[in-house]
Amino acid sequence: MQDFALYPFDPPGDILALRTDLRAWLAINQPEGDIVERANCWASFDTGFSRALGAAGYIGMTLPARYGGGDRHPLERYVVIEELLAAGAPVGAHWIADRQTGPLILRYGSEEQRQRYLPGIARGELYACIGLSEPGAGSDLAAVRTTARETAEGWRISGQKIWTTGAHLSHVMLALVRTEEGSERNAGLSQFLVDLDTPGITIRPIIDMAGNHDFNEVFFDDALVPHGALVGERGQGWKQVTAELGLERSGPERYLSSHALFAALIDAAGADPDPAVAALIGELAAEMWTLRQLSMSTAAKLAAGEDPMVEASVVKELGNSFEQDMPRRIQAVVTSGWEDPDDLARLLRALLIASPSFSLRGGTREVIRGIIARGLGLR
């Protein structure tokens, strides 16, 4: 990733020094690993790397120091995330906790929840997953049927979540459940922090077509969580979760999941590339620059306390198109065979298999386009 002089906001602090320091740190601390693992690296779990990153102050950057955070500006964190993704660093273990769970706890959680969870997140030692999708309630999130029933002992949770990334490696789930009996759609929903070692919770793997175990089914069989597991206000889960999704949909991961393949194409092209390859490199670079500007503008609005739901959805929709199309566009101009052992061929093969799933993460294209259309007054 090059250093760019132009930002759609006034950069806080010394951005160049931040980039330089992080690159030097990565040169020493980033595991070499296999080149394929550097593609889609925010799904790659390496708990040792996450702990080292936390110790260096690169996780929980925006959290207050009293909770173990760095008191840094959100746009400084954006630059760090951009660098980590461009380098293909294995950030999957702490990814969701740092991106969504920590900020949501800080905004809506109780002081007890902040004290309990945020320091571990900032150290890169506490990992989280998101409990949203259910059978029959994936794209239509308001159709959630998992319930939480309040009792004298606490809350009894029953139901099922599906496509839960990293649940088998996480300590806690931030779950959206229905707390008001008889409620429908986005009314009567609440969020809970659920420790995944709670009795009554079963996690089963979902193996994808590439043989990887990233996704899971999570079953709640009358699982008892304490009263203090409720996050924010009872019945306000829809409002809280939509604010959370703005963080999920607009970051640099929306245009950098296939970056390792782009870098490999540039390396393979050399100093005198084929004209078709050179033209494609120029096109991809220009498109990535545009997406980067859109993403940073949305990040600036989030940092200012705004809720840019439409802008975040535009970043996700365009970013998904860019990342999914890149392997096919590269395949059309290179001569790499499916079984070739070079880096470009191996990355191309891996991303041709993985990229169709990119548009499912954070909401399907149909849902995202509906949000954009409503935001523009088109429906």
Q: 130-236 and 250-375 share one CATH topology?
A: no
Domain ranges of the chain: 15-126, 130-236, 250-375
Phi, psi values for residue 343, rounded to 5°: -60, -45
Name the pTM for this structure. 0.85
Q: What is the CATH number of domain 250-375?
A: 1.20.140.10
Which pLDDT does position 6 carry in this prediction? 46
Domain 130-236 has CATH 1.10.3720.10: no
The answer to whether the CB of 82 falls within 8 A of the CB of 129 is no
CA distance 84 to 29: 12
pLDDT reported for residue 48:
95
CA dist., res. 266 & res. 247, Å (int): 31
Contact 160, 188 (CB under 8 A): no
The pLDDT value recorded for residue 379 is 66
Instruction: Check residue 32 and give its pLDDT.
Output: 84
Q: Are 172 and 189 in contact (CB under 8 A)?
A: no
Q: Which CATH superfamily is domain 15-126 in?
A: Acyl-CoA dehydrogenase/oxidase, N-terminal domain (1.10.540.10)
Contact 97/127 with Cβ under 8 angstroms? yes
Contacting residues for 19 by C-beta, under 8 A, at least 6 apart: 3, 79, 83
Q: Are the CB atoms for 158 and 165 separated by under 8 Å?
A: no
Q: According to the model, what pLDDT value does residue 218 have?
A: 97
Pairing mode of beta strands 172-178, 128-131:
parallel
Q: What string of pLDDT tens digits covers the 379 residues of the chain?
A: 344 344 455 556 688 899 999 999 999 999 987 888 887 787 788 999 999 999 999 999 999 999 999 999 888 898 899 999 989 899 999 999 999 999 999 999 999 999 999 999 999 999 999 998 888 766 667 778 999 999 999 999 999 999 898 999 999 999 999 998 877 787 889 999 999 999 999 999 998 877 888 899 999 999 999 999 999 999 888 888 876 666 666 778 888 888 889 999 999 988 888 999 999 999 999 999 998 988 888 888 877 777 777 888 888 888 888 988 899 999 999 987 777 888 899 999 888 887 777 766 666 666 777 777 877 777 6
